[in-house]
Amino acid sequence: MSFGTFLRKPESGAVLSLVAVALFFVLFAGADLGRFSGAASWVNFAANLGIVALPVGLLMIAGELDISIGAMIPAGSMTVAIVSGHYGMPIAVGILAALALGVVVGLINGILTVRTSVPSLIITLATLVAMQGIVLSASVLLTGNASVALDAPAWAKTLFGTLIGGNYQNIILWWLGFTAIYFVAIHKMPIGNWLFALGGDKDSARNAGIPTDRLTIGLFVLSATSATFVGMCGAILFNSAQVSGGMNYIFNAVVSVVVGGVLLTGGFGSVLGIFIGTLTFAIVSQGIYFTQIDRNWSSLIIGVMLLVAVLMNNAFRKMALSYAPRKKSED
């Protein structure tokens, strides 16, 4: 693959951002590479964020936005903790309840988006706030507490919440698995083509016979369920769930996706780009602990990186659009 071909891919900006951040940390910030590469913190961070960022990115490719994930992560962890921790039901019931809650909220988001002309940002903002209220009220009503303990059996821990090698959360494997599945589905199968068509021109896609409504609803279900999955894994790992937390995921996921080369208005992006964007984001926000830079600066770096990455992505997209293999001399 030539350098030109590389630049025309959606993930080129993300790769360059990753390289630039890594170089900056190593050359100017005195990053302790030995400690950094052995550290689990940023990989754990990336995995939890990445599982949510992937479907959020796919929704953005489809031209929609889902910010309700911020409430669905604590909703997922509270559901499993209340059902299996507080009421002592089998852990499988708690896990299924958490995932089912994601499906229900995803359906609400999706159906409202395709049935009304309200932008999905507003619809999911509404479900975000509503779910926060429901989770807090339900928790206080049912358990009298905003924090619930959960003692998961060994098999559930092995599957969803254990530490590998003492530090690495096994959700990392889920993240890699999800990335592989999304990659094949989006870039190798017809449904991926439908997604890009949907994001590029919804009316034309519908005229071409693509079930645009079902596809949109499916993506919302995917993102809400992924969020409850992350919350559920967290509760099983840490043996407890809190009603707060999760709001940071909204902005972190959007930054990761945009740095990953997804076009905010839809129709362009890649799974690999979202993956690398998440990795880059994790390295900046967590890797800064291994440098001599005060960690308070990390937000500034992320802001600058976001801007530079988006500008780069715009430039590369223009290149891709104007690309013609052999210019002929006539016309």
Partner 1 sequence: MTTPVLELRNVNKSFGPIDVLHDISLTVNAGEVLCLLGDNGAGKSTLIKTLAGVHRPTSGQMLMDGQPVLFERPKDATDRGIATVHQFGGTFPLMTIGRSFFVGMEPTKGWGPFKVFDRKTANEVAVKAVQSFGITRIDDGDRLIGGLSGGERQSLAIARAVHFGARVLILDEPTAALGVKQASHVLRIVLEAKRRGIAVIFITHQVTHAMAVGDHFAVLIRGALAASFKKGERSREEITDLMAGGEALADLGAEIETYMETHDGHPPQPVH
Applying CB under 8 A, among 89, 264, 308, 320 the residue interacting with partner 1 is: 320
Residue 203 binds partner 1, judged by CB under 8 A: yes
Phi and psi at residue 146, in whole multiples of 5°? -100, 5
- 3-class DSSP state of 28: coil
Judged by beta carbon, residue 131 or residue 219, the one nearer partner 1 is: 219
For residues 166-185, which are near partner 1 according to CB under 8 A? 184
Judged by CB under 8 A, the stretch of 158-166, 282-290, 297-305, 317-325 that binds partner 1 is 317-325
Q: With binding defined as CB under 8 A, does residue 315 bind partner 1?
A: no
- How many residues in the shown chain lie near partner 1 by CB under 8 A? 31
Question: In this complex, which beta carbon is closest to partner 1, that of residue 157 or of residue 317?
Answer: 317
Q: Distance between CA atoms of 97 and 84, rounded to whole angstroms?
A: 10
Among 166, 209, 294, 296, binds partner 1 (CB under 8 A): 209
- Binding of residue 207 to partner 1 (CB under 8 A): yes
C-alpha 182/C-alpha 329 separation (Å) is: 42
Q: Which of 42, 194, 290, 316 binds partner 1 (CB under 8 A)?
A: 194
Burial of 239 (C-beta count, 10 Å sphere; 0-12/13-18/19+): middle
Q: List alpha helices for 39-68, DSSP H.
A: 41-61
For residue 1, state whether it binds partner 1 (rule: CB under 8 A): no
Which sign, positive or negative, has the C-alpha torsion 273, 278, 283, 284? Answer: positive
Check if the beta carbon of residue 146 is closer than 8 Å to that of residue 244.
Answer: yes
DSSP state of 149: E
Q: Which stretch binds partner 1 (CB under 8 A): 72-80, 160-168, 196-204, 218-226?
A: 196-204
Q: Is 201 in the site for partner 1 (CB under 8 A)?
A: yes
Q: How far is CA 268 from CA 7, 11, 147, 287, 305, in A?
A: 14, 10, 41, 29, 20
What is the smallest separation between the CB atom of 328 and partner 1, expressed in angstroms? Answer: 6
Q: Which of 210, 254, 262, 271 binds partner 1 (CB under 8 A)?
A: 210
Query: Interacting stretch for partner 1, rule CB under 8 A, among 122-130, 146-154, 161-169, 208-216?
Result: 208-216
Greatest alpha-carbon pair distance for the chain in Å reads 78
Binding to partner 1, residues 262-301 (CB under 8 A):
263, 267-268
The nearer residue to partner 1, 88 or 328, going by C-beta atoms, is 328
What would the 3-class secondary structure string for 34-46 be?
HHHHHCCHHHHHH
C-alpha distances in angstroms, 108 versus 60, 121, 202, 222? 18, 13, 20, 12
Q: Which residues contact 134 (CB under 8 A, 6 or more apart)?
A: 75
Contact pick of 193, 239, 240, 298 for partner 1 (by CB under 8 A):
193
Choose the stretch contacting partner 1; rule: CB under 8 A; options: 76-84, 101-109, 301-309, 323-331: 323-331
Q: Which of 158, 167, 204, 299 binds partner 1 (CB under 8 A)?
A: 204
- What is d(CA 261, CA 17) in angstroms, rounded to the nearest whole number? 10
* Nearer residue to partner 1 within complex by CB, 92 or 184: 184
Q: How far is the CB of 61 from partner 1 (least distance, A)?
A: 10
134 and 224 in contact (C-beta within 8 Å)?
Answer: no
Residue closer to partner 1 by CB (options 94, 261) is 261
CB-hemisphere CA count at 13 Å for 312? 23
The contact set with partner 1 (CB under 8 A) reads 184, 188-190, 192-194, 196-197, 200-201, 203-205, 207-210, 263, 267-268, 317, 320-326, 328, 331
